[in-house]
Amino acid sequence: MYRQLRVCGLAILLMLPSASFAIEMGEHHYEEPMPSYLRQFAKEGGKVFVLERYDAEGRLVDRSFERVGGEISIDGAVERRIAGYDIQLRGLNGCPAQTVTYNRVQTWTCIDVVRDYAGAIYNKRAHVILCKTLMLSTAQGQAIPASCFVLVGGDGEPYRTVNDDDSMVFLGLAEIGKTPDGRSRRPDLEHAQSLSKTMEFRNAD
């Protein structure tokens, strides 16, 4: 039913002439955006980084755009450097195991899988990178905790959204952190972490 509602919503969206309304339809803090939302920010012949800042009530208060000229640094399972911004995937801890199962059969070091998979998504396939944060400002040198989404596709391939947070957890490259009182920092990714353990992507040692 949820999928049907989203499809119906997209159909209505595509019939509307107002691009601003289309943007508003995607303004939800941390929610995975549909490809149609991300495509609004795409530019011909280049890659775009969009940073959205939301307040505590989940209202969009700032959106910045940057052309991405060089490589995106993949410094760890949850660390990204994009267009001069240091991003840390929110609520996640990187590389819970030194080695992981990659492509279901190969044993690789965790960091090598991160650089192979995330590097291909960000540096070879991305058209738009959108990161969402609840931090209204960031001190110099401080990483921004964010959820990041990447638009890939085109050239005959359907456009789709890659959820970086979910991918890192599902592939066993990151695990969900805990609050000081033991609660999950990312209850939205608990299912992905459970699937990862069931499929034995992690703890290949």
Digit-coded pLDDT (tens) for 65-117: 999 989 999 999 999 999 999 999 999 999 999 999 888 788 999 999 999 99
Pair of tokens at residue 131: 């990161």
Q: Would you tell me how many other CB atoms lie within 10 Å of the CB of residue 47?
A: 23
Give the tens place of pLDDT for each residue, 119-128: 999 999 999 9
Q: What is the pLDDT of residues 33-53, one digit of tens each?
A: 999 999 999 998 899 999 999
User: In the 8-state DSSP scheme, what is residue 1?
Assistant: -
pLDDT band, very low/low/confident/very high, at 27 (cuts 50, 70, 90) = low
Structure tokens at 143: 């990483």
Q: What is the pLDDT of residue 63?
A: 96
What pLDDT does 198 receive? 82
Residue-level pLDDT at 184 = 93
Name the band, by pLDDT with cuts 50, 70 and 90, for residue 8.
very low
Pick one of 2.160.20, 3.40.50, 3.40.1350, 2.40.50 as the CATH number of 28-198: 2.40.50
Rounded average pLDDT over 189-201? 85
pLDDT in tens, 52-69: 999 989 899 999 999 998
Domain definitions of the chain by residue range = 28-198
CA 18 to CA 20: how far, in whole Å?
A: 5
170 burial (CB, 10 Å; 0-12 / 13-18 / 19+) is buried
Is-contact 123 72, C-beta < 8 A?
yes
Single out the residue of 134, 112, 123, 52 nearest to residue 82, CA to CA.
123
pLDDT-derived band at 19 (thresholds 50, 70, 90) equals very low
In this prediction, residue 72 carries a pLDDT of 96
Q: What are phi and psi of 160, to 5 degrees?
A: -150, 165
Q: Note whether 130 and 146 are within 8 A (CB).
A: no
Residue 77 · residue 168 · CB < 8 Å: yes
Q: What is the pLDDT of residues 148-194, one digit of tens each?
A: 999 999 989 999 999 999 999 999 999 999 999 999 999 999 999 99
Looking at residue 30, what is its pLDDT? 87
Q: Which residue has the higher pLDDT, 3 or 142?
A: 142
Q: Are 177 and 93 in contact (CB under 8 A)?
A: yes
Q: What's the pLDDT at 202?
A: 62
Note the pLDDT of residue 44.
Answer: 85
CA geometry: angle 68, 71, 75, nearest 5 deg: 120
